[in-house]
Amino acid sequence: MSFLDHIRRCNNAELSQFEPWFVGAERAGFIHRDFAPVVAARPSPFSHRDGAWHLDSTLDTPARRTAAMRAFLLELRGQGHFKGLWREEAYPVTWEFTRPALLEMERAAVPWFGVRAFGPHMTGYVRHPDGLHIWVPRRSYDKPTFPGQLDNTVAGGQPAGVGLHENLIKECGEEASIPPELARQARAVGFVAYWNQSGMQLKPDIMTCFDLELPDGFTPRANDGEVHSFELWPARRVFETVRDTTEFKYNCNLVLIDFFVRHGLLSADDPGFIPIVSGLRMM
């Protein structure tokens, strides 16, 4: 395993297997050719022409699109799609986070329609005399996705109608019992982006990276059942675990590699330095 292997793993999409779908002239996502019969098999808000899918043009406001999409997705859920992952959490459908959403749709359905998801991922670290240490959580063994794997200190998907920093502060409290006055000190330091495919699902996602220097003596505590436990690791141990194993959730590796670059843990003389740094932001 290597840093570049993690980047390749996150960027495994074969876009030739997908067709784009549009809201008016704006691309909203992608639909896999093998999922297309599900979209086309019943009355739906989609039509197909010229090698692309198009949302019904009579749905001319975000609210109308959202309502029509929700009704369609609920029908699919009733037929057994989304495998029990339904969250009742709406994500914005937009290719750029700062632009108004074309519509909102259920989180569980987002990768089935190749919609770009966003979210904050934070690395909480402590300065010790012997160097940086990083708080590493292990995901709950009961989580429906990636149970028991290692994760970023705090991370979460980005629901509609909430700012990234605001969402991070909320997640800090829920996942790690970090109080708001401390969580507000987290700094946005960059982003990672990738195109990941899992079967018929596509995740062309962007994760905003935050750093938070935590006080020596502060211990994150699991609060909402999402985290099994936290451990404080020397940064070198985190570096080697990412480099040599698949113990961390696949996309969390990219956030940590970005941290290693920014904090000087990855040498500029490393033969993989340029492809690693450039590979973290595959837009």
| pLDDT, tens only, 150-184 | 999 999 999 999 999 999 999 999 999 999 999 99
Kindly report the CATH number assigned to the domain that includes residue 131.
3.90.79.10
Same structural domain, 103 and 37: yes
* Domain's final residue, options 57, 78, 113: 113
Kindly report the CATH number assigned to the domain that includes residue 101.
3.30.750.160
What gap in Å lies between CA 136 and CA 269, rounded to an integer? 28
CB distance 106 to 88 below 8 Å: yes
Name every residue whose Cβ is closer than 8 Å to that of residue 135 and which is 6 or more positions away in sequence.
Answer: 124, 125, 126, 153, 176, 214, 220, 230, 231, 232, 233
Same structural domain, 156 and 255: yes
Instruction: Give the number of domains in the chain.
Output: 2
CB distance 276 to 3 below 8 Å: yes
Same structural domain, 95 and 127: no
Same structural domain, 143 and 225: yes
Same structural domain, 106 and 122: no
pTM summary value? 0.96
Q: Give the number of other CB atoms < 10 A from CB of residue 137.
A: 24
pLDDT in tens, 37-47: 999 987 889 99
- The average confidence (pLDDT) of the chain is 96
Same structural domain, 7 and 26: no
Same structural domain, 106 and 121: no
Reading phi first (left if > 0) and then psi (alpha if -120 to 50, else beta), residue 81 is in: beta
Same structural domain, 124 and 237: yes
* Domain's final residue, options 59, 82, 113: 113
Model pLDDT, residue 83: 83
Which of the residues in the chain have pLDDT under 70? none
Same structural domain, 89 and 195: no
Same structural domain, 158 and 264: yes
What gap in Å lies between CA 21 and CA 45, rounded to an integer? 12
Same structural domain, 218 and 249: yes
Same structural domain, 134 and 101: no
Structural domain boundaries enclosing 200: 3-11+117-279
Model pLDDT, residue 223: 85
* Domain's final residue, options 68, 94, 113: 113
Maximum distance among all Cα pairs of the chain, rounded to whole angstroms = 64
